[in-house]
Amino acid sequence: MTAAVFLGDFAKFNHWANTSMVNWLQELDPVLAEQPFNAGFGSIAVTLEHIADAQLNWLQTLSGNIPNVEREISTDSSLQRNCIRLLRGSQLLVEYVAGITEQELYTTIGSDDHLDTRFNFLVHVINHSTYHRGQIVLLTRLLGQTLEISPTDFDAYNWVVREASDRCWRGVRQVLERS
């Protein structure tokens, strides 16, 4: 497996995990999302905003373009707004990774005080999101919420994707066997 293939899968995992989290966050009372904690970034809403901001900032560093995800967001809820920003940012990350070459992955980029390869920065931004998704799950549980929170780790993603692929191929084989 090449680095580009791995990062393509890893970016898709990140988007899948963000989508899973947003799906159950939609059931959370927005007032609870603002509940202050002495953990994470102080609340679920602010931690979510941090993940969305970080993805968008890293996309700008990686691509040199400023992603404009703010247009067409028409909601007064900071929770809703940041859920949308998070998903748009992670989808843009998938698209960015799909468009770069293996050689570009190993190009050094950044600022004078923080130089590294695109590959390392991409692994970082996805791990960063994973870390903070875990904080959001913890804060949600500390609020006593019993929402159906699905696993969002890389292994769960691989299992779901493999299982869906296996089901598809079993169906194709059954159709071919009947022909």
Distance, in Å, from the CA atom of 127 to the CA atom of 139, rounded to the nearest integer, reads 19
pLDDT of residue 41: 85
pLDDT at 146 over 70: yes
Mean pLDDT of 63-72: 68
Distance, in Å, from the CA atom of 168 to the CA atom of 33, rounded to the nearest integer, reads 38
Distance, in Å, from the CA atom of 75 to the CA atom of 154, rounded to the nearest integer, reads 31
- At residue 108, the 3 state secondary structure works out as strand
Mean pLDDT of 6-12: 95
Topology given in CATH for the domain delimited by 3-150: Four Helix Bundle (Hemerythrin (Met), subunit A) (1.20.120)
Of the given ranges (1-15, 72-86, 159-173), which has the lowest mean pLDDT?
Answer: 159-173
Distance, in Å, from the CA atom of 122 to the CA atom of 103, rounded to the nearest integer, reads 14
pTM of the model: 0.86
Greater pLDDT, 86 or 74: 86
Q: How confident is the model at residue 137 (pLDDT cuts 50, 70, 90)?
A: very high
- At residue 99, the 3 state secondary structure works out as coil
pLDDT of residue 79: 86
Query: 177, 65 in Cβ contact below 8 A?
Result: no
* Cα-Cα-Cα-Cα dihedral sign, residues 88, 90, 96, 99: negative
What are 43-59's pLDDT values in tens digits?
Answer: 999 999 999 999 998 99
